[in-house]
């Protein structure tokens, strides 16, 4: 009963954000707002193109449409809260709203990890087994594959969020972050979080380690197949079909490794600077990657580039 009463007493969390650096808040408000608008526009256009252009009704572009929708959902689950915290003197978020935001952010991140693995498999079949591609990647196959990504990510998030929100919080409700990031919330618990740590470790292996290994193996076979193509033009054409996905994978996982692989400073002054650095890296990770995805696919994919150009010209012509 005591634990339940302690948990119930915490009705809201305070987001620290950039409170210690008020001069930066207005600058970052404008910057993050502009990046968020680019995310909505870029990914919205990609979704519109993949849905409306019939020749893009293929597994690769179906996955791309899912990725764009996922990026919009991921940023929308956190960016409005971040923007509000930049302008509000008291940066509070209700307990229930914190749980919802935590669930959505974790779910979208886990789903993207699985979805990128599915997209790697699609490119593997297309390049290594092109004759079987229509059979292996039929609509009966690729729609459930995408759906399973969303279900798996949501299920993992539900487990982690439930475990975190059932912990007792004994008065310290200040989250040293921009959002209700699950690791930052776990630090506030006044109970043993070993189950949460173990569960997070298992989840990271499943949703980070396994997809990375799967993507790596897929691209080993893809590159081996491409190098066997006799003509330079054939090799270039084959690689161009997967270069955009490979670039997105490198940006996505490269940023994660940079965020969590940096050594921690032991100097108190250096720790303060690193704390600000970690916050800003985390902030930009949440908006830069979703912003770059449509740009990468637009610049490195001729079909998408042509479809966007045709769509824009049609709109201008009708006006």
Q: Say if CB 46 and CB 304 are below 8 A apart.
A: yes
- Cα separation, 257 vs 239, in Å, equals 25
| Whether the Cβ atoms of residue 116 and residue 238 lie closer than 8 Å to each other | no
Write b or e for each residue in 256-269: b if 16 or more Cβ atoms lie within 10 A of its Cβ, otherwise e: beeeeeeeeeeeee
Give the pLDDT mean for 70-89.
88
Residue from 29, 200, 184, 181 nearest 105 by CA: 181
Residues 123, 241: contact at Cβ < 8 Å? Answer: yes
Task: Encode pLDDT of 120-130 as tens digits.
Answer: 999 999 999 99
3-state secondary structure (DSSP) of residue 209: helix
**Cα-flanking dihedrals φ and ψ of residue 172, to 5°?**
-75, 105
Written as six digits, the tokens of 71 are 């990026």
Per-residue pLDDT band at 4 (split at 50, 70, 90): very low
Q: Which strand (E) or helix (H) includes residue 274?
A: helix 268-300
User: What's the rounded Cα separation, in Å, for the pair 257 and 151?
Assistant: 25
The per-residue pLDDT for range 141-150, each reduced to its tens digit, is: 999 999 999 9
Tens-digit pLDDT profile for residues 14-53: 888 777 677 778 888 999 999 999 999 999 989 998 898 8
Beta-strand relationship, 174-175 and 92-94: unpaired
- Please list the residues that pair with 45 across neighbouring strands: none
Three-class SS of residue 213?
helix
| pTM of the model as a whole | 0.86
Nearest CA-CA partner of 184 in 301, 110, 275, 313: 275
The pLDDT mean for the chain works out to 84
Name the 3-class secondary structure at 15. Answer: strand
Distance CA 22, CA 305 (A): 41
What pLDDT, on a 0 to 100 scale, did the predictor assign at position 146?
Answer: 95
Q: Three-class SS of residue 14?
A: strand
Q: Are strands 12-15 and 92-94 parallel, antiparallel or unpaired?
A: antiparallel
């Amino acid at each position: 009963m005591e634990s339940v009463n302690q948990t119930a007493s915490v009705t809201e969390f305070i987001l620290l954000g950039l409170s210690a650096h008020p001069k930066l808040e207005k600058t970052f408000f404008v910057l993050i707002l502009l990046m968020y608008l680019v995310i909505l526009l870029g990914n919205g256009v990609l979704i519109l193109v993949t849905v409306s252009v019939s020749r893009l009704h293929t597994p690769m572009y179906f996955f791309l449409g899912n990725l764009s929708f996922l990026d919009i959902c991921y940023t929308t689950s956190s960016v409005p809260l971040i923007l509000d915290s930049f302008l509000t003197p008291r940066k509070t978020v209700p307990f229930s709203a914190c749980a919802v935001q935590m669930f959505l952010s974790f779910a979208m991140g886990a789903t993207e990890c699985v979805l990128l693995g599915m997209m790697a498999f699609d490119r593997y079949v297309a390049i290594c087994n092109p004759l079987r591609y229509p059979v292996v990647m039929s609509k009966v196959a690729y729609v459930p594959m995408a759906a399973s990504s969303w279900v798996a990510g949501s299920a993992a998030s539900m487990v982690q969020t439930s475990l975190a929100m059932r912990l007792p919080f004994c008065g310290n409700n200040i989250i040293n972050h921009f959002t209700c990031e699950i690791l930052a919330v776990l630090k506030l618990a006044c109970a043993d979080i070993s189950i949460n740590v173990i569960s997070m470790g298992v989840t990271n292996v499943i949703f980070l380690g396994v997809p990375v290994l799967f993507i790596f193996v897929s691209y080993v076979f893809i590159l081996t197949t491409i190098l066997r193509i006799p003509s330079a033009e054939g090799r270039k054409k084959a690689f161009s079909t997967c270069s955009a996905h490979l670039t997105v994978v490198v940006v996505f996982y490269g940023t994660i490794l940079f965020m969590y692989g940096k050594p921690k400073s032991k100097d108190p002054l250096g720790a303060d600077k690193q704390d600000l650095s970690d916050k800003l890296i985390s902030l930009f990770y949440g908006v830069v990657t979703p912003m770059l995805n449509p740009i990468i696919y637009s610049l490195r994919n001729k079909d998408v580039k042509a479809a966007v150009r045709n769509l824009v010209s049609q709109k201008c012509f009708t006006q």
